[in-house]
Amino acid sequence: MGWGYKKLSPCHESIHIPSDASFFFRHLTLNKLEIPFHFHQEYEIAYIIQGKGTRYIGDSIQPFDRGDLVLLGPHLGHTWTLSKECKRIELITIQFDLNFLGTDFMQTPEASAWRRFLPHANHGVAPLGKTAAKIQQILLRMKKEVGFSRLISLFQVMDLFSTSKEIKTISLEAASHKSIPSSDSRMGKVIRYLEENYSQKITLEAIAKIAMMSRVSFSRYCKYKTGIPFNRLLRSIRIGKSCEFLQNTNRSISEIALATGYESLATFNRQFLSEKQISPSHLRKLYQNLDTTAEGDYKST
């Protein structure tokens, strides 16, 4: 077969927020999950109280277990599947549109931290350490709250997300489509070059020249603009491309490794496992098992 591929497209979910609330809060206990790979225009907070399986967010595919907590931006594809041994899942989800606070809220001085932080949610983010523990505690408290008390708790959750340094980015995909500067910017030119030449040998010196900076200056600049070092950015782009080939072609893993810039299969396997916490062969099986037949819109219940 040829190298052509069609990237998995998420279906659209229509969120219907109850008329007596300004955001959608749900506490669910389910024996199974039947959620297609989907997106919606609302932000979403998802907290797994009990359960384990595989989490798909953008180009990220990772195992999840009890305590898993994420914040997802609008239009970011996502789903969760349960492992065979998991017979029950308990979770909390919150879905909200920023406009429920009024169109002027995000321009207020008090919302400055939100303005700085929310673009990162386009990648999907996960809180770590004490921040995660504090957010989990508030979310559990919200089960018993109603009305304004629950709204205040949502504000507290978002304040923790937006002011903490204990935050990990989940997916590169949204960054390449939404959050990386446009192609006429310095960083945008670098990203475009990497996405077009990921199969070639790429050095820090060459990229620094494209950015018209010294190696040291570019290294600092890249970390500031993307939140990750240059070598991690290049690795993420290459591994992301390899995921597309694993999903959409029948090429061998060694061929995919070579096509995404890896001369050594061992190096590819090691970096893939480090990036995705799963082996390429296992990921291909997950792609094959993931039900992607749902098309069009579906409504949340």
- List, as one string, the DSSP characters of 10-38: PEEEE----TT-SSEEEEEEES-----SE
- pLDDT (0 to 100) of residue 40: 84
Q: What pLDDT sits at residue 173?
A: 62
pLDDT (0 to 100) of residue 289:
65
Q: Tell me what the mean pLDDT of segment 229-244 comes to.
A: 86
| DSSP 8-state secondary structure symbol assigned to residue 58 | T
109-113, 252-256, 270-274: which is most confident: 252-256
pLDDT digits (tens, 9 = 90+) for 10-20: 677 778 888 88
Q: What is the pLDDT of residues 204-215, one digit of tens each?
A: 999 999 999 999
What does the pLDDT look like over 188-200, one tens digit per residue? Answer: 788 878 888 999 9
Question: What are the structural domains, with CATH classification, of the chain?
Answer: 11-169 (2.60.120.280), 173-289 (1.10.10.60)
Cβ atoms < 10 Å from Cβ of 60? 23
> What would the mean pLDDT of 239-264 be, rounded to a whole number?
90
The whole-number pLDDT of residue 192 equals 78
- In the predicted model, is pLDDT for residue 184 greater than 80? no
The DSSP bridge pattern shows strands 125-127 and 167-169 to be antiparallel
Report which DSSP code applies to 260: T
Mean pLDDT of 74-103: 87
**Distance, C-alpha 33 to centroid of its chain:** 20
